[in-house]
Amino acid sequence: MPHGMRLVGVISIVAMAAFTWFVLLTPLSEFWPAASVLSVGSLALFIWTVRTTRDAGFALAFAGAQSPKLLTIGPFRYIRHPFYTAYLIFWLGTFFATSSSLSLSGFIVLLVCYVLAAREEERIMSRGQLAAEYAAYASQTGMFLPRRS
């Protein structure tokens, strides 16, 4: 497993432990319904992305390897990095559930990690055999959020 992916895993575990601690020891914030919606949306996007990529042979984050093909179906039709988007939606939901600065800090740190991972993946794609195809795709598709038409 790449070192960057291990680091993100450790940060995620620490953030999840902090979130669990807040949920168990403090009352949920008044925004917990929004957190629930974000969690369900995150899970739905994650499952959709897993189903879309199941047989694609994608490289792990921070692996420094190019994916063997460019996917432009499923969630990739709308955003270039739906896995990272799903994770970010989840972590944003933890902030809404707790309204704690620690949850917000976890979201921000993980946002930086996912942006770095996405930029590295895009750098690799822009230099590989799919560079022209990827450039056209990237010009029409948002990194983490869909682009307006």
Residue 121: C-alpha distances to residues 63, 64, 84, 110 (Å): 9, 7, 12, 16
Residue 44 lies in a domain: yes
Residue 149 lies in a domain: no
- Domain around 96: 3-140
Q: Are 66 and 128 in contact (CB under 8 A)?
A: yes
Residue 59 lies in a domain: yes
Residue 145 lies in a domain: no
Its pTM stands at 0.83
Residue 15 lies in a domain: yes
Res 21: pLDDT:
79
Residue 83 lies in a domain: yes
Residue 147 lies in a domain: no
Smallest CA-to-CA distance from 77 within 140, 7, 4, 19 is with 140
Residue 131 lies in a domain: yes
Per the structure, the count of domains in the chain is: 1
Mean pLDDT split into 10-residue runs, the chain, 149 residues = 75 80 80 91 92 77 68 95 94 89 89 92 90 95 91
